[in-house]
Amino acid sequence: MEKLPVVGNASQPEELDLTPDELEAEIRRLKVERNAVLLAHYYQESEIQDLADYVGDSLQLSQAAAKTEADVIVFAGVHFMAETAKIINPNKIVVVPDLAAGCSLADGCPAPVFQKWLEQYPGHTVVSYINCSADVKALSDVICTSSNAVKIVKALEGQKVVFAPDRHLAAFVAKQANRPDLVAWQGTCIVHETFSEKRLLELMAKHPEAEVIAHPECHEGILRHAVHVASTSGLIDYAVKSPKTAFIVATEAGILHRMQQAAPGKTLIAAPPEDESCSCNVCPHMKRNTLEKLYLCLRDLEPRVDVPEAVRVRALAPIQRMLAMS
Ligand code: 13P
Ligand code: SF4
């Protein structure tokens, strides 16, 4: 079996002399030895998803983090997801395969700028999408994910609402909750922003039997063609339950692995990005995590995710509010 090349966390470059099978066996062994739970998002590499104790969308992974009795949470996802798990579990060790796995939405909403921006909207309830930093969560009244954003904004009837940081999700929520007055921070996801309506129409013409399903981080040019708009787990559920046998899926391509496992025999087609030559429908942050880095973080219990206690306490309240409302 082929030996693996040089890998590791940027801070711990290391030559691993393990085959992929040995690496997977080591990860399974270390999970037991460390009493660790491995949580993975649907956008992770398929081999990481297959090793996980739980694979889910952002809400499900937060709920799993809130329930776990493990001593260690290994979060195969991006930084804001692991940070949320740490906010909920201050006494547990939370590690990530790659500390640099960020998110364009979180990175595009720096807390000091957000705080200043909020000064324009006194008396507004601040709803923040979970794709934001702990500091932004600490400035928020309630957190939401793509699976409960509409429900949460609907529950705030009669209140003025600010929604951050994704403008496409905000526009979708404003429409669904009939809140044209929703004030939105103008952030976007680099992956969902990239889908092309022109190329989607060409693909729809080529596959008239296929239904378009999309994540609400997509822009309106994509969402207007979708028969179903939902979180990653909502899209998988739809592909399983729909009597249709073919789907054009407008979200990060990592979802296709679990969707195909859940809906065997159905045809899944990845929605096309604008630029034919790039893999822009693959999240570069999510894909920083590799099997090798996963092994190293379980072995070394590094890199850890920590949140200053004062921020953590303020960020916890809006997360708990979301969990109670979900
Ligand atoms: P979900 O909560 O739908 O899994 O979305 C997370 C995400 O980062 C989408 O880009
Ligand atoms: Fe962030 Fe977009 Fe990657 Fe999701 S797909 S983690 S929103 S950059």
| pLDDT for res 5 | 46
| pLDDT for res 314 | 98
| pLDDT for res 209 | 97
182 CB near ligand 1 (under 6 Å): no
For 284, the 3-state DSSP assignment is coil
Amino acid (one-letter) located at 4: L
- Asked if residue 10 has pLDDT above 90, the reply is no
| CATH number assigned to the domain covering 4-101+285-305 | 3.40.50.10800
Provide the token pair at 120. Answer: 């324009």
What are the DSSP calls for 75-97, one per residue?
Answer: EES-HHHHHHHHHH-TTSEEE-S
Predicted confidence band of residue 82 (pLDDT cuts 50, 70, 90): very high
Ligand nearest to the CA of 109: 2
Q: In this structure, what are the phi and psi dihedrals at residue 287, rounded to the nearest 5 degrees?
A: -80, 5
Nearest CA to 297 out of 19, 11, 60 is that of: 11
| pLDDT for res 113 | 98
211 CB near ligand 1 (under 6 Å): no
Provide the token pair at 26. Answer: 């080591």
Query: What does the alpha-carbon distance between residue 43 and residue 50 come to, in Å, rounded to a whole number?
Result: 12
CB 6 within 8 A of CB 12: no
Nearest CA to 131 out of 30, 212, 57, 47 is that of: 57
- Contacts of 154 by beta carbon, 8 Å cutoff, 6+ apart: 177
Instruction: Spell out the CATH class of 105-188.
Output: alpha beta
- At 252-297, the pLDDT tens digits run 999 999 999 999 999 999 998 888 788 889 999 999 999 999 999 9
Predicted confidence band of residue 223 (pLDDT cuts 50, 70, 90): very high
Domains 4-101+285-305 and 192-270 share a fold: yes
For 296, the 3-state DSSP assignment is helix
In order of 195, 223, 236, the CA distances from 273 in angstroms are 4, 14, 21
138 CB near ligand 2 (under 6 Å): no
- At 124-151, the pLDDT tens digits run 999 999 999 999 999 999 999 999 999 9
232 CB near ligand 1 (under 6 Å): yes
Nearest ligand 1 atom, CA 231: 3
Predicted confidence band of residue 13 (pLDDT cuts 50, 70, 90): low
Nearest CA to 229 out of 147, 116, 151 is that of: 147
Does domain 192-270 fall under CATH 3.40.50.10800? My reply is: yes
| pLDDT for res 172 | 98
What's this model's pTM, rounded to 2 decimal places?
Answer: 0.94
The least confident of 91-105, 231-245, 275-289 is: 275-289
To test the pocket of ligand 1, the residue of 191, 231, 257, 287 to mutate (highest count of ligand atoms within 8 Å of its CB) is 231
| pLDDT for res 8 | 45
52 CB near ligand 2 (under 6 Å): no
Ligand nearest to the CA of 108: 2
Mean pLDDT within 230-247 = 98
Domain boundaries, the chain: 4-101+285-305, 105-188, 192-270
